[in-house]
Chains A and B, each alone.
Chain A
Amino acid sequence: MPFFPAHKLPLAVLGLVLVALPFLFGGKYQLSILILIGISAIVCVGINLLVGVAGQISLGHAAFFGIGSYASAVFTGDYGWNGILAMFAGILITSVLAATVGWPILRLKGHYLAMATLGVGLVIQLLLIQEAGITGGPDGRAVKALTIFGLRVKGEWAWYCIVAGALFVVVWGAQNLMSSPWGRALRALHASEPASAAAGIDVHQMKVAIFAASAGLASFAGSLYAHALAFVTPDQASFLHSVEFVVMIVVGGLGSVYGSLVGAAILIVLPQVLSSLSDYENLAFGVLLILVVYLLRKGIVPTLRLIAVGGGR
């Protein structure tokens, strides 16, 4: 029995990186970027299980992120609920909604599923914009600070610790899931639905389950976002934000848990860097996106792994 099991190594490295990062980039602004990366990474881990592992396209997950944000804003702000309670209520509402919507639409495949998820996302965003009495309308609304056991979470350091801790747990769970029979069944149904069904896998039920679970995770991240930034707008639920999540996992690597983190980091940092280009920002971003897909077809993390394995031989 080795002293330290090899499959736990990446998780240990992640832990070390998460601890080291704030000491390397400890400025207020840098920390706030790290927080944003962590929140997006949590969403991406879930979407990657849905899109990368199970092969079911979603162009509407930002809407679930949005529901989480608004659940936290509304339940804490208008009903005086505890922030943690509001967060779990958001996760529950989102997962149930996703399962209800997902049950019919996950019978669709490919571009048709893309269209249906896109439609669901747009409808939810429209509700968030139009029901201004509750949501504050297109301009968004302020969110109360999160209190945990009577302590108000304040400042970048506190938020970094919460987000990093949450991300660590999410990655741990996703890794477990991926190496479990459930995760194997998820990969199997992506590869061949008829063969999966013949092996006793309830393909449709699994699709709905991972759709709901990834939506719940997006909702959780949305709640963190709402409290961390103390403000929410319907833009968080937009089609472009949904696409951004998908771009993150494609860039990082479809089906790779750590790829989700790398993709989120790149897609959050890149616009910050490019914003110095002002008018050239969109053009540069679009061209870079095409180049990344061109050069790293499998995504960054799987490509690096291939290089590492090739070099080790």
Chain B
Amino acid sequence: MENADVFLGLHDFLERMRQPSASDFVKSIKSFIVSFSNNAPDPERDSAMVQEFLANMEAAFRAHPLWAGCSEEELESAGEGLEKYVMTKLFTRVFASLPDDVKVDDQLSQKMSLIQQFIRPENLDIKPTFQNESSWLLAQKELQKINMYKAPRDKLVCILNCCKVINNLLLNASIASNDSPPGADEFLPVLIYVTIKANPPQLHSNLLYIQRYRRQSRLVSEAAYFFTNILSAESFISNIDAKSLSMEETEFERNMEFARALLSGFSTDSDGLPYHSDQSAGSFAKAEPLESRHKALSSKKESDLSNRSDISEARSTSKDTLYAKEEPEIGKVQSLEDIENKGATMLLKEEDFSKGVFREYPYLYAQVGDLTINDVEELLNNYKQLVFKYVCLSKGLGGATPSLPLSNSQTDLPCDTESVNEEHQGTEAVNKEHQGTEPADSKSQKHTDVMDDSNIVSHVSKENVESKPHKDELVAPH
């Protein structure tokens, strides 16, 4: 289906367009793009125009001497090249061009940012056998790349890669547990979960764009199936309510309220509890060694639990506290340490947590004597995965120099200057980090090996193409 070689498509296409005999093609492509830009946006008509133009051009390629004797693949590739060229040119004109779509994007993103705060795999019927939150991060990353590309196919590939990662993980889990092979009962819930956690930018607009401008004859079969899955994920998410997550109405509302408070930055510690690690307690809490922090957390357990029963009250208390403070602190986002603390508190509250969350970390309760030399590789992998995730998290929070957990330098993380808005930039920073730096790269290689993801379509060649727009302009031959 979606092959990496198609990527040579644009290159090859532009090469052929430089041939003198292609001058008519060049003219019609250019005039199409110009005429298109003269009209006011009208998605239905625009989509129909593009689809028709691409179809006609492909038919013309087929009949033209330039492609005489070419294989189906080469013609297909020319079609891909044309689609990519045209859509890259029309992108700003047709992508998220209607205020209504932009509004839906915002609402959807807002909803995901709230729900991701409290949703659990169980809420979507993901069986414990198939739960693997740490590895799902990889699938999330694929989705989050969607705005790095302009061509419909490239965006679609982000979605397909995300699905591929999920499927490989499900397959591995089913083999490991001897469970039934994964079908849609397993796949769709994970895709929805991953989508919510990823909160990909402009999801609604991206899906509409693919639907309208990906050449219809190529959005078929497996690609169509997985595209339908992400459409249904979008639909499910936009309709999420208490019932669809098997929650009590009151519990759902409480969670949503709580997430709103968290995101608006009113609550400095996520539980709305009086444990202010770096505001009320200031640098004192940060300088505290980890152990004593944990002790503090455990001793707080009881009071936490009682506070939980009336979160709104707790929240209003913390709001009051906040208002009493200086202005600059209001927009502050949580530091990594806050989040660790929040997580630890939540963990302590979970009954028999050792069976649940730590299931994925088989060595947590191991003694030295239990280990064999064969465990070294897996341990090292686990270690690298942890480090990678931690660095990503720190980066995502805007920390300049993330350091390993348990080292004292973590207290250096700058956390007073951030605002909620920077969160998104943080995510991008993670992506860049992931591609740019050597350790992150080799780490991702590791994942690829482990999970049989080597068939993930690489975007690299494409990025190169996109980074040289001038060279790749269509020039009418003289």
Do A and B share a complex?
A: no
The residues of A with any CB-CB pair to B shorter than 8 Å are: none
The residues of B with any CB-CB pair to A shorter than 8 Å are: none
